């Protein structure tokens, strides 16, 4: 909340400056001002000062008038120049007249050309630098002689449940360009089966929030009250019995992926094992239904039901194997594995132990690979 108090005291500074500057040097006045701000922030941290509704409203107005301008439109086109998708994007990095914009991969996939679209309806051709299909992130770039607003990524690890957040994007297309909605963080480190393979995905520890988002918000920003981006909106759960369940990719992961794509053209963040499996501990009915008899004494691990050729474990494990440990860490269940495996990056080396044909086998020095497209 420090930005709120800095802004309040900047206003105070402007009001009293003219009255006292005659009696103090400008340098000395600035020193006093900085000390006052520091003293006030100390009181804020100790709980002696309470954030007021007015100060929060002021911050929301500031974001609407400043940082929200960094959220633009993304139009994806096919080879004939026909529009196939509209989404949102966030300008996050400027190098001279070159601007980088992050959006979701699902906004740009299957397209052959792209445009970034601004509030006044003008557009500029953009070039796709690279994508991370696993996390659903894409980075484009374009040039502009006109100065444009960019954002700062927050430390999403510092985000807590109950934090106020603002979603900015283009819900339902450009007729609602730059819409802003407010909500709170409903939960952190949410995992779910986004690709529909009946297994909770381990790639993203999503931020759950209840700020309204809709089709077209994809790739838009989720701001904190300091005007920093804490996440990139990616999906909502849409059902008649569900309201207010939106999800954003945490900014720490987004920033790391964007840095990789800028430098290498690909992301080196999230590896994929390349297997479809059933969690033995959590899904006993699966084995009963299909008449599969598990080996005596095997109560945990991943029973492999499909293998993706060319993936990390594509030429190593077989259907019917039971993956019991990675790097010496026993696999207890999917939730435990997700938390454990999230520490690894593409290029890391692991060992994998499987139970096959009545015996344990350990495969060493396996390089983790990205998703096979």
Q: Which of 88, 93, 132, 136 is catalytic?
A: 136
Structure tokens at 9: 């005291």
Q: Which of 106, 201, 210, 251 is catalytic?
A: 106
- Rounded Cα distance, 183 and 193, in Å: 24
Digit-coded pLDDT (tens) for 82-99? 999 999 999 999 999 999
Check if 136 is active-site: yes
Structure tokens at 152: 């700062």
- Mean pLDDT over 319-324 rounds to 96
Global pTM value: 0.71
> Does residue 352 register a pLDDT over 90?
yes
319 and 306 Cβ atoms separated by less than 8 Å: yes
- Rounded Cα distance, 208 and 184, in Å: 9
- Rounded Cα distance, 236 and 245, in Å: 6
Give the mean pLDDT of the chain: 86
DSSP 3-state assignment of 52? Answer: coil
Vertex 278, ends 356 and 137: CA angle to 5°? 115
DSSP 237-272: --BTTB-S-EEEEEHHHHHHHHHHHHHHSS--S---
Q: What percent of the chain has pLDDT over 70?
A: 82
pLDDT of residue 266: 86
Digit-coded pLDDT (tens) for 334-346? 878 877 887 788 8
- Rounded Cα distance, 136 and 232, in Å: 10
152 vs 372, more confident? 152
CATH number of 275-367: 2.30.42.10
pLDDT of residue 1: 46
- Rounded Cα distance, 55 and 10, in Å: 13
- Rounded Cα distance, 13 and 134, in Å: 48
pLDDT of residue 269: 77
pLDDT of residue 282: 87
pLDDT grade for 34, boundaries at 50, 70 and 90: low
Digit-coded pLDDT (tens) for 245-292? 899 999 999 999 999 999 999 888 778 898 999 999 988 889 999 999
- Mean pLDDT over 298-312 rounds to 92
Q: Which of 179, 218, 251, 267 is catalytic?
A: 218
262 and 127 Cβ atoms separated by less than 8 Å: no
CB atoms near residue 237 (< 10 Å): 13
DSSP 3-state assignment of 185? Answer: strand
pLDDT of residue 13: 46
CB atoms near residue 368 (< 10 Å): 21
> Does residue 196 register a pLDDT over 80?
no
Q: Domain residues of the chain, as ranges? A: 2-51, 156-252, 275-367
Q: Is the domain 156-252 a CATH 2.40.10.10 member?
A: yes
């Amino acid at each position: 909340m420090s930005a709120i108090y800095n802004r309040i005291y900047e206003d105070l500074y402007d009001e009293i400056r003219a009255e006292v500057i005659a009696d103090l040097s400008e340098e000395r006045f600035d020193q006093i001002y900085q000390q006052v701000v520091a003293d006030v922030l100390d009181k804020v941290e100790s709980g002696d000062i309470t954030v007021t509704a007015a100060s929060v409203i002021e911050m929301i107005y500031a974001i609407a008038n400043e940082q929200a301008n960094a959220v633009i439109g993304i139009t994806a086109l096919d080879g004939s120049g026909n529009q196939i998708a509209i989404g949102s994007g966030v300008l996050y990095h400027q190098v001279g007249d070159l601007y980088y914009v992050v959006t979701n991969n699902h906004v740009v996939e299957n397209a052959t050309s792209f445009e970034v679209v601004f509030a006044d309806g003008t557009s500029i051709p953009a070039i796709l630098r690279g994508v991370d299909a696993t996390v659903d992130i894409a980075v484009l770039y374009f040039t502009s002689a006109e100065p444009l607003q960019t954002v700062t990524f927050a430390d999403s690890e510092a985000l807590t449940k109950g934090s106020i957040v603002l979603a900015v994007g283009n819900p339902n297309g450009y007729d609602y360009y730059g819409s802003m909605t407010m909500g709170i963080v409903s939960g952190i480190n949410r995992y779910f089966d986004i690709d529909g393979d009946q297994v909770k995905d381990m790639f993203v520890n999503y931020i759950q929030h209840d700020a309204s988002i809709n089709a077209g918000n994809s790739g838009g920003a989720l701001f904190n009250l300091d005007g920093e981006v804490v996440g990139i909106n990616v999906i909502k759960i849409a059902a008649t019995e569900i309201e207010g369940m939106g999800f954003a990719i945490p900014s720490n992961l987004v920033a790391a992926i964007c840095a990789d794509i800028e430098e290498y053209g690909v992301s080196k963040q999230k590896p994929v094992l390349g297997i479809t499996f059933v969690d033995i501990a959590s899904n006993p009915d699966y084995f009963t239904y299909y008449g599969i008899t598990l080996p005596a004494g095997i109560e945990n691990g991943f029973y492999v039901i499909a293998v993706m050729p060319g993936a990390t474990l594509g030429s190593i494990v077989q259907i019917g194997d039971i993956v019991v440990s990675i790097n010496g860490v026993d696999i207890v269940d999917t939730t435990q594995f997700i938390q454990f495996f999230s520490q690894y990056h593409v290029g890391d080396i692991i060992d994998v132990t499987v139970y096959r044909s009545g015996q344990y086998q350990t495969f060493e020095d396996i390089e983790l690979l990205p998703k096979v497209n």
